[in-house]
Amino acid sequence: MGAYHAGSLAVQDLVGVRDRAAHVGRSLGQDIKPVAAAFLETQPLLVVGAADPGTGRVWASALTGAPGFVRATGPRQVSVLTDTGRLATALTTPGTSVGTIALDPRTRRRMRVNGRLRQTPRGFAVEADQVFSNCPKYIQRRESYETLAGRTPATPRRLTELTAEQAEFIRAADTFFLATVHPGGADASHRGGNPGFVQVASPRELTWPDYPGNAMFLSLGNLRSDPRAGLLFLDWTTGTTLQLTGEAHTEFAAGGDRSVRFTLTEALWTPAALPLRWSAPAYSPANPDIPR
Over residues 38-95, the pLDDT tens digits come to 999 999 999 999 999 999 999 999 999 999 999 999 999 999 999 877 778 888 899 9
Q: What tens digit of pLDDT does each residue of 179-218 get? A: 999 988 999 999 999 999 999 999 999 999 988 877 677 7
∠281-287-291 over CA atoms, to 5°?
110
Distance from chain centroid for Cα 255 = 28
Least confident of 35-39, 161-165, 210-214, 268-272: 210-214
Give the domains, in start order, of the chain with CATH numbers. Answer: 6-282 (2.30.110.10)
Q: What is the mean pLDDT of residues 117-144?
A: 93
Tell me, what's the pLDDT at 9?
A: 74
pLDDT > 70 fraction of the chain, expressed in percent and rounded: 96
Distance CA 16, CA 108 (A): 28
pLDDT of 213 reads: 75
Q: Around Cβ 220, how many Cβ atoms within 10 Å? A: 26
pTM of the predicted model over 0.85: yes
Q: Are strands 258-270 and 241-252 parallel, antiparallel or unpaired?
A: antiparallel
Concatenated DSSP letters of 99-143: EEEEEETTTTEEEEEEEEEEEETTEEEEEEEEEEEE--TTPPEE-
